[in-house]
Chains A and B, each alone.
Chain A
Amino acid sequence: AQSVSQHNHHVILSEAASLELGCNYSYGGTVNLFWYVQYPGQHLQLLLKYFSGDPLVKGIKGFEAEFIKSKFSFNLRKPSVQWSDTAEYFCAVIFNTGGFKTIFGAGTRLFVKA
């Protein structure tokens, strides 16, 4: 069965620290990969996505992610976080198994100290 794992459930950083959130999935076929952010009281917003091409993708607000096919990973990074990045981050994968199935990771709550 397909699955998506996010390794860190809670992360606390100081402003200007670097961020890396892990995401791994289990499936050997075609996938589309996303990172979403959910700020307190708001709906899910797309940070970035990967469908094909350059495995290093850049998103909004200075975020980037790298798809490493051999490791089934799609880790999210930001060189220098800000207090306003405090939110919950979700990795999501669309699996094409003859039908489409979208699976989200459990989420990582990031708290950035000012």
Chain B
Amino acid sequence: ETGVTQSPTHLIKTRGQQVTLRCSSQSGHNTVSWYQQALGQGPQFIFQYYREEENGRGNFPPRFSGLQFPNYSSELNVNALELDDSALYLCASSLQGAGNTIYFGEGSWLTVV
């Protein structure tokens, strides 16, 4: 149990729709990052938020956006869904600074049809 909770655990959306995934960080963690893990692949870094500001981004288009709230919970929003967006979306939290571990949630499975 990592203390990182994600919702929903599974969802199905239609191409072109929008989706919002939610993450509650481990208590005391001020940094959250999001990853996309397609079947048979390693997690791909989407972006990272520290104290409500994005401070790192991977190679994902602008239709992937996020928010971090004052209580350090977070959302991942994906607009104009495409079939290739079908994947497991992982949220991870940590305490910013050297030596601090990233703890992962169990993920949200998104299927786009």
B: interface residue count bin: 20 to 34
User: How many inter-chain contacts with C-beta < 8 Å in the A-B complex?
Assistant: 57
Interface residue? A40 (CB, 8 A): no
Interface residues of A, count at CB 8 A: 22
Interchain CB contact under 8 A, A101 and B99? no
- Indicate which residue in A6, A32, A45 contacts B98 across the interface (CB closer than 8 Å): A32
Interface residue? B79 (CB, 8 A): no
Interface residue? A63 (CB, 8 A): no
Give the docked Cα–Cα distance between A110 and B106 (Å): 21
Give the docked Cα–Cα distance between A102 and B98 (Å): 14
Interface residue? B101 (CB, 8 A): yes
Q: What are the interface flags for B97-113 relative to A under an 8 Å C-beta threshold, 1 for contact and 0 otherwise? A: 01101111111000000
Interchain CB contact under 8 A, B43 and A43? no
Show 22 residue pairs from A and B whose CB-CB distance is below 8 angstroms, ordered by the A residue: A34-B101, A43-B90, A43-B104, A43-B107, A45-B104, A46-B103, A49-B101, A52-B98, A52-B99, A92-B43, A99-B48, A100-B56, A101-B48, A102-B35, A102-B45, A102-B102, A103-B45, A104-B35, A104-B44, A104-B45, A107-B41, A107-B42
Binding site for B on A (CB under 8 A): 6, 32, 34, 36, 43-46, 49, 51-52, 90, 92, 99-107
